[in-house]
Structure 1
Amino acid sequence: MSSSTSPGLSAPLKIAAFRNLWMANIVSNVGTLMQSVGAAWLMTSLTSSTTLVGLVQTASTLPVFLVGFLAGVLADTVERKRLLFWSQLWMLVVALVLAVITWMGLITPWVLLGLTFALGFGAAISLPAWQATVQDMVPRESVPAAVSLNSIAFNVARAVGPAIGGVLVAATGAASAFFVNAVSFVAVIGAVTTWKPAARQKSRLSEDMFGALRAGFRYLIHSKRLQSPIIRASAFNFFASVVWPLGPLYARDVLHTTASGFGLLLAFFGTGSIVSALLVPRLRSVMQLERILAVGSMISASSLIGLAFAHEFWVAAVAIFFAGTAWVGVLVNFNVATQTAVPAWVRGRALSFYLLAFQGVLALGGLLWGYLAGHIGIAPCFQVAAGGLVVGLILTRYFPISLNEDVDLRPSMHWPEVHESIDLDVEDGPVLVLVEFQIAPERADAFRETMRGMREQRMRNGAHRWRLYQDIQDPQRFVELFRVDSWGEHLRQHERLTVTDLEVQTAALAFHEGPEKPRVHHYLNIEG
C-alpha cells in the first residue's frame, strides 16, 4: 500500500514544465482520438471486410512493435526535447497529408492504413521519451500522481475527442477530423519548444546503438521487478482491448448507430477512465495493489459480458463506462510499476519494452479479434475476452507487482576507481573480475543465498557470465567471478550501481571475515 504521506494528485501541476506539457497533451490527444474515430469509421465505409477494419488498430500500433526498442535507446541516448519536437512535427505533416488526400477523394483502404501506420511511427518514436520525461520534471515521490494525471489527460481527451470526432465525421466527413488532428500537434510543439529541461548528467562512457540495445535486454532478462508489470499488462491488455478493433462494428451492426453514436460510446469509455484515474491514488492508500488489479480485471470482464448481451445503446454505454474505469485502474498501476522499477540510465529502454508489449498486443489483437469476429460474431468475441481476463488472474501468483517504494534507484557511485597499470582502451576486453571472500563454514549457506541476489545485480548492470567458487584446499575461501564484454562496459557498471545495489553488496560483505576488505582483481583477455 502507498504511503499516506505521498504528494497529492495536484502536486505535479505546480511544476510549470509538467503543467504546460500536460495541457498540450490534452489538446493533442483530443485531435488524435478524433482522427481515430474518423479512420475507423471511414474504413467501414470503404470496405465490408472486418479484417481491414480491425487492421486500422494494427496499423496505428504496429510501429511500436517494429521500432519500440530503437525508440527506447533514443530516449536514453539523445536529447529528449529534440526527439519530441521532431516526432511531433512528423505527425503534423502526416496528418495534414491524410486530411488533404481524404478531402480530395483519393483515399483507399490501403492508403488509409499506410498513413495511419506513418502516424503510429511518429507516436512510437516519441512514446518512450514522452513517458521518461515524467521523472525529468517531477520528483520520484510524485511519479504516481504524474502518471495518473497523464492518464486523466488522455481520458479527458477520450471523453471529448471521440464525441466531437463522431459528430464532425457525421456532419462533414473524416477529412475534417484529420485536419483538426494535424492542428492539434502545434500545441505540443509549442510546449516542447518552451520547455527548458535540466542538463542531463552525461556519462563519460557513451554507448553505441547495439551496445545500448544489448544492455537494455540484459537488464530486462535479469530484473523480475521489470518483467512482472510488462507480462501482466500484456495479458490484461490483449483481452481488455477487444473493444477497440470491434467497437466500430459493434456500434454499426449491433447497436445500429451512426458515427456520432460510436463517438458517444467512446466518450462514455473515456469518462469512466477519468473517474478511475481520479480514484486510483486514493485507492492505493486504502487497498493493496494486487487487490486493485484483481478487482479491475473482474470489472473489465463483467463489462465485456455486458456488451456481449446489450442491444440497447444506453445499456452498452453503461457497460463501456465501467470498461473504461477498469482499463485505467489497472493500466495506470502497471505503468507506475514499470517507471519505478528501473534506474535513470535504462528508463527509456524499460518504457520501450513496456510500450512494445502494450502496443504489440493491441496490434496483434486488432488482427485476431477482427478475424475472429468475421467467423464467430462480435458478441462471442466479447465473451471469449471476458474469460481470458478471469483466467489471466493466475499470473498474479507467478508475477507479483510492487510499486517499489522501498527501492532506492539513485546512483550510489560506491565502487572505487580502478587504477590501471597498463594502457587500456574502452574497447579492450573481455574483462574478468575476481572478488575473494573469507567465509566461516557455519555461515557458508547463508552467504551463498545472499550471493544469488549479487548475481542478478551483476548481470543487470553489465556482466554476461557469473560464477561463485569455493576453494577445495581452503574451504573458507570463496571466489566470485564475473565477465564483461569490455573495459568500457565494466566502467559503465561503476556508474550504473544504485543505492539498493549497495545494500545488497553490503549484506554480502557482512559475511566476510578477513582482516581486510575482499580483494578485487581485474583480468584482461589477451588471447583466445
Structure 2
Amino acid sequence: MITTTGPWTPLKDPVYRMLWLAVLASNAGTWMQTVGAQWLVVHEPDAATWTSLVQTVTTLPVLLFALPAGTLADALDRRRLLLAVQIGLFGVASVLTALAALDHLSPPLLLVFTFLLGCGQALTLPSWQAVIPEVVPHDQLPAASALGAVNTNLARSAGPAVGGLLVAQFGSAAVFGLNALSFAVFALALVRWRRDPQPPTGQAERFGSALRAGERYVRWSPVVRRILGRVLLFVLPGSVVWALLPVVARQELSMGAQGYGVLLAALGIGAIAGALLMPRARRLLSTDQMIVATGLVYGAALAVVAFVPHTIAVVPALVLGGAAWMMLVSRMNAAMQLVLPNWVRARALAIYQLVFAGGQAIGALLWGQFASAFGLDSAFATAAAVMAAGLLLVRVWPVHTHENDDYTPAVYWAEPHLVIEPHRDDGPVLISARYRVRQENAAAFLTAMQRVRGSRMRTGASQWGLFRDTADAELFVEAYLVPTWDEHLRQHEGRLTESDERMEERAIALAEGAPEVTHLLATDR
C-alpha cells in the first residue's frame, strides 16, 4: 500500500501531538527513574545484585501482566483506563519521592515501588498502542508507529543522560519527582483529549473468556503469528546491543559514563534517521524486503562491534544499527496495527509487547552468559551470525500482511431462530451448517472452507470440523463448538470482519445456495 503521508504527518494533528509529547515525557521519566534507583543502591554491599534487580523488577511486570492489561484495555474504556493508571502512577511516584527525600528508602522498599511503577507501565503500553488508531487516520498508522519508535529511542537516549546529571547534582529524589510529574503531564493530556463518542459495546466480556479469546485469536491468525515470529527472530540476536553496550563502552572502548551516553545517543540518532527514511522505504521495499535489509544492516553493525572495536567505527555502526532497529520494529508494529480488528486489538498488541519484551529479556540473559563464557567479541559475532541465519527463513516463512484485507467489523449473520432462549453463560454451543456442493466444485470448496475454519477459530470456536455424508456425496456438514452462548453472540455482534465475510461468500458461492444452519445447546448433566 503506497501512502503519501510524511514521517511527521501525524504530529500535525493537535491531539496526537499532545499525547505523543506526553508519552515522551513519561518514557523519559521512566528512564530517569531507573538511573536514580540504580544510583541509590550502587554503594550497597553486593551492589551488582541490587542494580540488576532494579532492572529486573522494572521489566518483569510487562512479562507478567501484559496480556491481562490488554484484556482490560479491550473490555474497558481505554482513555479512562489510561487516565486512572497515570493518576495511580503519580501517587506511587510521589510517595517514592518523599521517602527518598527523607532518606527512608531501603533497597527492598525501593524494589517494591519500582515494581509497582513497572506494573503501571505494563497497563499503559497496550492501552496506548490500541488507542492510536482512534487518533490518527488509517493511512497514517505506519508513520505513527515510526514516531512511536522515535519516541522510545529519544527517551532511551535522553532520559539516562539527563537523569545522570540530575542525580549527580540533586540526588535521586529529584529524578523520582520528575518522573511523578511526567505521569501528571500524561494525565493532563488525556483529560484535555476530547474524544469522539464511542459506540456502545454491549455487555462487558468476562475477564477469563476475554483472555482466552485474545490468545485464541493470535493462535489462529497466520498473519499475526508470522509477525510475532519475525519480531522474535530479530530481537533475540539484536538484544545483545542493549544487554552489553555498557560493558562494550567500559571494557572495549575504555569509555566512562559520558562515553556510554555517546553510544546511546548514536542509537537514538539512528532511530530518528530511520523514521525519516521510513516513508521512502515503505514505497520501495515490501515487508519481506524490509526485513532482509534491516537485518543485514543490523547484523553488519554487530559484526563491526565484534571485529573493529574502535570508537571511530563503533559509533557510525550504532547509528546504522539504531536506524535498522527502529525501521524493523516500527514496520512490524504498524503491520500489527493494520491487521487487527478493534475488538481484540489491545490483547493482540499486549501479546506483541510480551514477545518483544520477553525476547529482549531472554536474549539479554543468554548474551550476558555467553559473553562471560566466551568474551564480548564472540557474543557480538555470534549474534550477527544468528541474525543472518534468521534472514534465510524469509523465503520459506514470509510475512504476508494482506494489506488489501478489510478488518472493518461486519455484522452479516442472520439472527438465530430460537424457541429456547439460552442464558449468555450457557454452553458449549454446537453450530452446524449443511452445504450442498456439486462434485466438480468439491475440491475448491474444501480449500475455501479451510480459510473459513480460521475465521471461526479466531472469533470464538474452540473446535471445528468439516464432514462429508457417506450416503450423499454432495452433502457437506460444517460443525464447530463455541464455549458459551455469549461467545457465539459476539460472533454475530461484531467480531467478524469484512474479510471474514468475503471468505464465507467464496465458500458459499461454490455451494448450491446458502447453508442450513442449526444451533445445538449442551443439555444439563
Please say which of residues 421-430 and 211-220 is displaced more in the overlay: 421-430
Q: Which residue of 1 aligns with 2:138?
A: 140
Q: Show the counterpart of 2:228.
A: 230
Counterpart in 2 of 1:518?
A: 515
Deviation at 1:442, TM superposition (A): 1.4
Alignment correspondent of 2:294: 296
Tell me by how many angstroms 1:380 deviates. 2.7
**Aligned pair partner of 2:383 in 370, 382, 385:** 385
Change (3 A) 1:139 1:27: same
1:212 corresponds, among 197, 210, 213, to 210
| Secondary structure at the counterpart of residue 472 of structure 1 | coil
Distance 1:58 1:19 in 2: 32
Alpha carbons 1:237, 1:361 under 8 Å: kept = yes
Letter in 2 for 1:338: M
Asked whether the 8 Å contact 2:5–2:279 carries over to 1, the reply is no
Q: Which amino acid aligns with 2:502?
A: E
> Structure 1 332/45 Cα, relative in aligned 2: closer, same or farther at 3 Å?
farther
| Equivalent residue, structure 2, for 1:502 | 501
Give the letter for the 2:12 counterpart. Answer: K
Counterparts in 2 of 1:311 and 1:522: CA distance versus 1, 3 Å: closer
The aligned length equals: 524
| 3-state SS of 2:394 partner | helix
CA–CA separation in structure 1 for the residues paired with 2:202 and 2:29: 41
1:484-504 Cα shifts (integer Å, max 9, x gaps): 112221111112110000100
What does 1:242-253 align with in structure 2 at a 5 Å threshold?
Answer: 242-253=240-251
When structure 1 is superposed on structure 2, of 448-457 and 146-155 the one drifting more is 146-155
Cα distance change on mapping 1:40 and 1:259 into 2, 3 Å: farther
Cα distance, 1:505 vs structure 2: 0.6
Q: CA deviation at 1:272?
A: 0.7
Q: Distance in 2 between matches of 1:315 and 1:145?
A: 30
The C-alpha deviation readout for 1:208-257, integer Å capped at 9, x for no partner, is 00010111111111101111111211221122122223233333333333
CA root-mean-square deviation: 2.4
When structure 1 is superposed on structure 2, of 278-287 and 350-359 the one drifting more is 278-287
Structure 1 residues 197 and 353, CA, compared in 2 at 3 Å: closer, same or farther?
same
Aligned ranges for residues 121-140 of structure 1 at < 5 Å? Answer: 121-140=119-138
Contact 1:163 1:264 (8 Å CA) reproduced: no
| Structure 2 Cα separation of the partners of residues 41 and 321 of structure 1 | 28
What is the rounded CA distance, in whole Å, between the counterparts of 1:362 and 1:146 in structure 2? 23
TM-score by length of 1: 0.92
Bigger mean CA offset, 517-526 vs 195-204: 195-204
Alpha-carbon distance between aligned partners in 1 of 2:64 and 2:458, rounded to the nearest angstrom: 24
| Residues 1:169 and 1:389: Cα distance change in structure 2 (over 3 Å) | farther
Query: Offset of 1:141 from its aligned partner?
Result: 1.8
Corresponding residue for residue 59 of structure 1: 57
CA distance in 1 between counterparts of 2:250 and 2:312 reads: 15
The structure 2 residue matched to 1:351, chosen from 349, 352, 355, is 349
Sort the Cα spacing of 1:173 and 1:251 in 2 relative to 1 into closer, same or farther, 3 A.
farther
Is 1:55–1:367's contact at 8 Å kept on the other side of the alignment? no
> Which amino acid in 1 is paired with 2:518?
H
> Secondary structure of 1:242's partner?
helix
1:34-49 maps to which residues of 2 (within 5 A)? 34-39=32-37, 46=44
Contact 2:434–2:517 (CA under 8 A) maintained in structure 1:
yes
How far 1:124 moved relative to its partner? Answer: 0.5
Q: Secondary structure at the match of 2:339?
A: coil
Query: Are the equivalent residues in 2 in contact too, given 1:169–1:260 (CA < 8 A)?
Result: no
Q: Which of these residues, 78, 87, 90, is aligned with residue 88 of structure 2?
A: 90
Instruction: State the match for 2:156 in structure 1.
Output: 158
The equivalent residue for 1:443 is 441
C-alpha spacing 1:107/1:264, structure 2 compared with 1 (3 Å): farther
- Farther off after superposition, 287-296 or 86-95: 86-95
Overall identity of the aligned pairs, in %? 39
Kindly tell me: are residues 326 and 116 of structure 1, through their superposed partners in 2, closer, same or farther at Cα, counting changes over 3 Å? farther
Distance 1:102 1:269, change over 3 A: farther
TM-score w.r.t. structure 2 length? Answer: 0.92
1:186 aligns with 2:184: yes
Distance 1:267 1:187 in 2: 25
SS in 2 for 1:382: helix
Q: Secondary structure at the match of 1:482?
A: strand
Gap regions ≥5 residues in structure 1: none
How far off its partner does 1:310 sit?
5.0
Q: Does 128-137 or 183-192 show the bigger shift?
A: 183-192
Q: Which residue of structure 1 aligns with residue 268 of structure 2?
A: 270
Give me the whole-angstrom Cα distance separating, in 2, the residues matched to 1:254 and 1:170: 25
Match runs of 1:355-374 below 5 Å: 355-374=353-372
Shift of 1:345: 0.4
Q: Distance in 2 between matches of 1:41 and 1:243?
A: 22
Q: Compute the displacement of 1:525 (Å).
A: 1.8
Structure 1 equivalent of residue 394 of structure 2: 396
